[in-house]
Amino acid sequence: MSALVVLGAQWGDEGKGKMTDYLAETADVVVRFQGGNNAGHTVEVGDKQYKLHLIPSGILYDDKLNIIGNGVVLDPKALFEEANYLKGLGVKFTPEKLLISDRAQLIMPYHRVLDGLKEKARGKADIGTTGKGIGPCYTDKAERSGIRVCDLMNKEVFEKKLRRNIEDKNAIIELYGGETLDFDTIYKEYLDYAERMREHVTDISVRIYDDIKNNKKVLFEGAQGSLLDIDYGTYPYVTSSNTIAGGVCTGAGVGPTMITNAVGIAKAYTTRVGKGPFPTELNDETGDWIREKGHEYGVTTGRSRRCGWLDLVILKSTARISGLTSFAVTKIDTLAGLEKIKVCIGYKFEGKVIDYFPASLEDLAKCEPIYEEFDGWDESVAAATSYEELPENAKKYLKRIEEFTDTRVSSVGVGPKRSQTINIAEL
């Protein structure tokens, strides 16, 4: 029995796509369990680069099953756009390769409209969302007015639910000064999606359970990161789903005892897109240097990512909350060339030193990072193919991560390609 969770240990964009693709080589099934097309996962194989948003990163292999779980908010327009993009790159898109949960919530055009209008109305207090309708769709799920994939599969049910929603949402859109939406146009558009999706739709919990019981290796590909989690992230500057390991249970209908490992993907430094607190942020030349060297620009929105030092307080919290069995540290090649590298090992807070992440943003604002300084390493790191070949200073850095978080490092990324991954310990 083998079920492995791959999740972001920071604020997203840690390299989950690359690691999922790498681990998928020996897996049978890859499952997305939360989020939607707000995600942007990059995979590089040979000289080809793939940017995935909604479809699991296992899609690049012809012999793997990919699953969009019930915890995902699914935009059918985005799904078929991505399928066409992949087909253009020679990737097959068939029901044998992709199953969709009948319980997944659908992102509707009014969700995208409301995402934009609500952000605008927040003014300076905006969250900096991706604008994909994620928050409004999860709002409807919690409010119990959402439309699920199984509803779309039944024309009459869909019509009834859509009519009620359009009426309700148009009233809100008007209130925000937006343009109202037309029922007929959306109805027709979605019925077309329904037919194209039908063959992919199933009860994915049943399928995943059977696969795990039959000794298949199942990977759960997280989107976003721990600090964007709706409960444990920097609320309200978070996404609207549970990005932590617990999200797998609710988002894919899998019991906690079925999960065997959880690997936290941690960038060797920290980045964040959108608004919200970031204790180790570097608003200086070093921050700019890291951004350019690491190509830190969003895959989904193209926005530049804020950059800062590695924060071990964050990694320690993630290890605890998600019960991590290991970390996969990515992008140590990006830091090559820096003479000194800093790492946050605690916060000074009201005269005390703390090593956990406070809930209140007001408390977090009072936290002052305490740094430890490391000697840097050179560019030879990018050519390393084994742990032994890594520069000594890079090894010291990795050892400190393990020691502080009490969690081993199972792999290291030294470049964006599938092959540029150093495996240290089997998962």
Residues annotated as catalytic are 13, 41, 141
Stretch that binds ligand GDP, among 81-89, 94-102, 328-336, 354-362 (CB under 6 A): 328-336
DSSP H/E element including 157: helix 155-175
Among 4, 9, 10, 16, binds ligand GDP (CB under 6 A): 16
User: Buried (b) or exposed (e) across 99-130, using 16+ Cβ within 10 A?
Assistant: bbbbbbbbbbbbbbbbbbbbbeeeeeeebebb
User: Buried (b) or exposed (e) across 256-266, using 16+ Cβ within 10 A?
Assistant: eebbebbbbbb
Q: Considering the rule CB under 6 A, would residue 306 count as an interface residue with ligand GDP?
A: no
127 binds, among Mg ion, ligand IMO, ligand GDP, none (CB under 5 to 8 A by kind): ligand IMO
Query: Quick check: 359 and 384 in contact, CB under 8 A?
Result: no
132 binds, among ligand GDP, ligand IMO, Mg ion, none (CB under 5 to 8 A by kind): ligand IMO
| Cα 328–Cα 334–Cα 336 angle in degrees, nearest 5 | 110
Q: Is the dihedral of CA 180, 141, 134, 363 positive or negative?
A: positive
Q: What SS3 state is found at 123? A: helix
Q: What SS3 state is found at 383? A: helix
Query: Which residues are annotated as part of the binding site?
Result: 12-18, 38-42, 130, 144, 224, 239, 299-305, 331-333, 413-415
Q: Considering the rule CB under 6 A, would residue 82 count as an interface residue with ligand GDP?
A: no
Q: Assign residue 123 a region: left if phi > 0, alpha if psi is -120 to 50, beta otherwise?
A: left
Task: List CB contacts of 374: < 8 A, sequence separation 6 or more.
Answer: 340, 341, 342, 343, 393, 396, 397, 400
Query: Quick check: 162 and 186 in contact, CB under 8 A?
Result: yes
Output the smallest distance, CB 138 to ligand IMO, in A. Answer: 9
**Which of 66, 240 has the CB closer to ligand IMO?**
240
DSSP H/E element including 109: helix 109-122
Query: Quick check: 127 and 236 in contact, CB under 8 A?
Result: yes
Stretch that binds ligand IMO, among 132-140, 177-185, 370-378, 414-422 (CB under 6 A): 132-140
Strand runs labelled E in 86-203: 98-101, 105-106, 201-202
Among 11, 17, 135, 405, binds ligand GDP (CB under 6 A): 17
Stretch that binds ligand GDP, among 9-17, 84-92, 148-156, 385-393 (CB under 6 A): 9-17
Among 6, 29, 212, 223, binds ligand IMO (CB under 6 A): 223
The token duo for 198 is 């039908």
Stretch that binds ligand IMO, among 162-170, 224-232, 288-296, 388-396 (CB under 6 A): 224-232
Q: Considering the rule CB under 5 A, would residue 40 count as an interface residue with Mg ion?
A: yes
Q: Considering the rule CB under 6 A, would residue 207 count as an interface residue with ligand GDP?
A: no
Residue that has been written with the tokens 């840690």 in this structure: 14
DSSP H/E element including 163: helix 155-175
Stretch that binds ligand IMO, among 121-129, 195-203, 207-215, 329-337 (CB under 6 A): 121-129
345 binds, among ligand GDP, Mg ion, ligand IMO, none (CB under 5 to 8 A by kind): none
Q: Considering the rule CB under 5 A, would residue 13 count as an interface residue with Mg ion?
A: yes
**Which of 197, 384 has the CB closer to ligand GDP?**
384
**Which of 56, 413 has the CB closer to ligand GDP?**
413
Among 276, 319, 416, 422, binds ligand GDP (CB under 6 A): 416
Residue that has been written with the tokens 């978070």 in this structure: 238
Q: Which of 415, 262, 280 is nearest to 357 (CA)?
A: 280
Output the smallest distance, CB 41 to Mg ion, in A. Answer: 6
Among 34, 37, 38, 421, binds ligand IMO (CB under 6 A): 38
Q: Considering the rule CB under 6 A, would residue 274 count as an interface residue with ligand IMO?
A: yes
**Which of 294, 346 has the CB closer to ligand IMO?**
294
With CB under 5 A as the rule, give the number of residues binding Mg ion.
3
| Cα 122–Cα 127–Cα 133 angle in degrees, nearest 5 | 90
Task: Compute how many other C-beta atoms are within 10 angstroms of the C-beta atom of residue 151.
Answer: 20
Output the smallest distance, CB 92 to ligand GDP, in A. Answer: 22
- Distance between CA atoms of residues 270 and 281, nearest Å: 8
227 binds, among Mg ion, ligand IMO, ligand GDP, none (CB under 5 to 8 A by kind): none
Binding site for Mg ion (CB under 5 A): 13, 40, 299
Binding site for ligand GDP (CB under 6 A): 8, 12-18, 40-42, 44, 295, 299, 330-331, 333-334, 413-416
Interacting residues toward ligand IMO by CB under 6 A: 8, 11-13, 38-41, 127-130, 132, 134-135, 223-225, 228, 239-240, 273-274
